């Protein structure tokens, strides 16, 4: 292996003076808005993540094992900010063990948790639903898990019930983050149950606000762009000063996500700026609709997007992947949404599919869904 060759050749590393603002790693964005950008992760970002995660474990969740005694299962590739910066680096800081899963397999995942007595897991709700919906799950002892982290989508009440049944000794952690700002907001344990569609409060050491186009903070309840400031914010994009100037302003990183804050100070994502749907002059935020639909117990994944319409400008559409072994109709989805969303936000087009198109970073390519459905409507 390459590592063995390095050991065989030997040699010493040159002694260099380091600074917390020196670039440590280049991590690439998923590229949903175009070409992936290389994000300059500096030493300070890694140090902050390591300290913050340790504080969450020891001071907030109060379940960290003694130094050197914990085990984390990392299922995502290390080019993901969550896997590298929020799992591997904190584990190194605490002297704990990281177990890397070479490929996502239900059996391998469950076997490793039982065999290695894994204590810290991270996955999307879709991954957890596949794992916990498997007939194999009952064969394994998962009682060692103390933290089950998730992100990317809300945790529906029925899935949370499965989580609590499978991981009997676990507390839960919902993190919102980006390559440029790692975990910026977090909902902790009971908050995940009480406000399942919220992304929580600013994480330790971070500042988060909702701003308008002039960087002015908007009143609570008003939709604006989520802006993040703190030691978690990266140093900009490598060799891309124009993109850096657009996104990193006045010490804040503009996430490109539209959000709001409720009366209790909990943050919510409502849409990516570029994904907002204009239906006859009414703004529809796809994430808001997705957050409702994914609470349905038969929904595994959902993507909401706009399709062109001659009269309304755009209409709301949803592509849905159902939980294996279940059946679902468009009428059921519309009925489920009827008391949770305004009528104009309920998808008029509902497509059931076995797979959502995604880029290498795992983000849904909504442009493909819009194009495919528009062609079908045109033919119809």
What domains can you pick out in the chain, each with its CATH number? 18-208+229-250 (3.40.50.12780), 276-379 (3.30.300.30)
Give residue 231's pLDDT: 96
pTM strictly above 0.85: no
d(CA 235, CA 248): 9
Give residue 32's pLDDT: 61
Record the tokens describing residue 353, joined without a space.
């599919």
- Given CA atoms 160, 81, 207, 364 in this order, what sign does their dihedral have? negative
How far does CA 248 lie from the centroid of its chain?
21
Give residue 33's pLDDT: 60
Give residue 379's pLDDT: 65
Per-residue pLDDT of the chain (380 residues; tens, 9 = 90+): 566 777 787 777 777 777 999 999 999 987 666 678 999 999 999 999 999 988 888 777 777 655 567 899 998 888 888 899 999 999 888 888 999 988 878 899 999 999 999 999 998 888 888 888 888 899 999 999 999 998 877 788 888 889 999 999 999 989 998 999 999 989 888 888 888 889 999 998 899 999 999 999 999 999 999 999 999 999 999 999 999 999 999 889 999 999 999 999 999 998 888 889 999 999 999 988 998 999 999 999 999 999 999 999 999 999 999 998 999 999 999 999 999 999 999 999 999 999 999 877 678 899 999 999 999 887 65
Antiparallel, parallel or unpaired: β 252-261 and 267-272: antiparallel
Give residue 29's pLDDT: 87
d(CA 298, CA 284): 24
d(CA 288, CA 197): 9
Interacting residues of 287 by C-beta distance below 8 A, sequence separation 6+: 257, 269, 270, 271, 272, 275, 304
CA contacts within 13 A on the Cβ side of 244: 13
């Amino acid at each position: 292996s390459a590592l063995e060759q390095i050991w065989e050749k030997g040699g010493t590393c040159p002694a260099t003076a380091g600074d917390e603002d020196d670039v440590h790693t280049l991590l690439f964005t998923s590229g949903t808005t175009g070409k992936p950008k290389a994000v300059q992760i500096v030493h300070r970002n890694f140090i902050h993540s390591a300290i913050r995660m340790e504080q969450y474990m020891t001071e907030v969740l109060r379940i960290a094992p003694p130094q050197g005694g914990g085990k984390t299962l990392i299922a995502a590739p290390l080019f993901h900010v969550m896997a590298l910066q929020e799992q591997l680096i904190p584990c190194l800081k605490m002297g704990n063990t990281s177990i890397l899963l070479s490929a996502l397999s239900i059996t391998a995942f469950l076997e490793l948790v039982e065999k290695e007595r894994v204590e810290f897991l991270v996955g999307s709700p879709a991954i957890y639903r596949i794992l916990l919906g498997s007939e194999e799950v009952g064969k394994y002892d998962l009682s060692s898990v103390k933290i089950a982290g998730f992100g990317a989508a809300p945790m529906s009440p029925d899935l949370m019930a499965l989580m609590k049944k499978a991981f009997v000794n676990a507390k839960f952690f919902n993190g919102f983050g980006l390559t440029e700002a790692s975990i910026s907001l977090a909902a902790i344990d009971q908050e995940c149950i009480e406000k399942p569609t919220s992304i929580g409060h600013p994480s330790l050491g971070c500042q988060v606000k909702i701003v308008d186009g002039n960087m002015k903070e908007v009143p609570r309840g008003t939709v604006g762009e989520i802006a993040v400031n703190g030691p978690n914010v990266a140093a900009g994009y490598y060799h891309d000063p124009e993109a850096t100037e657009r996104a990193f302003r006045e010490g804040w990183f503009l996430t490109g996500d539209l959000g709001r804050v409720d009366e209790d100070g909990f943050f919510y994502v409502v849409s990516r700026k570029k994904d907002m749907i204009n239906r006859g002059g009414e703004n529809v935020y796809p994430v808001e609709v997705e957050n409702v639909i994914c609470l349905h117990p038969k929904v595994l994944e959902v993507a909401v997007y706009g399709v062109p319409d001659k009269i309304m400008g755009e209409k709301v559409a949803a592509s849905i992947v159902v939980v294996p072994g279940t059946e679902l109709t468009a009428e059921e989805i519309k009925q489920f949404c009827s008391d949770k969303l305004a009528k104009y936000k309920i998808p008029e087009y509902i497509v059931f599919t076995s797979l959502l198109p995604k880029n290498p970073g795992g983000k849904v390519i909504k442009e493909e869904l819009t194009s495919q459905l528009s062609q079908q409507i045109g033919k119809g």
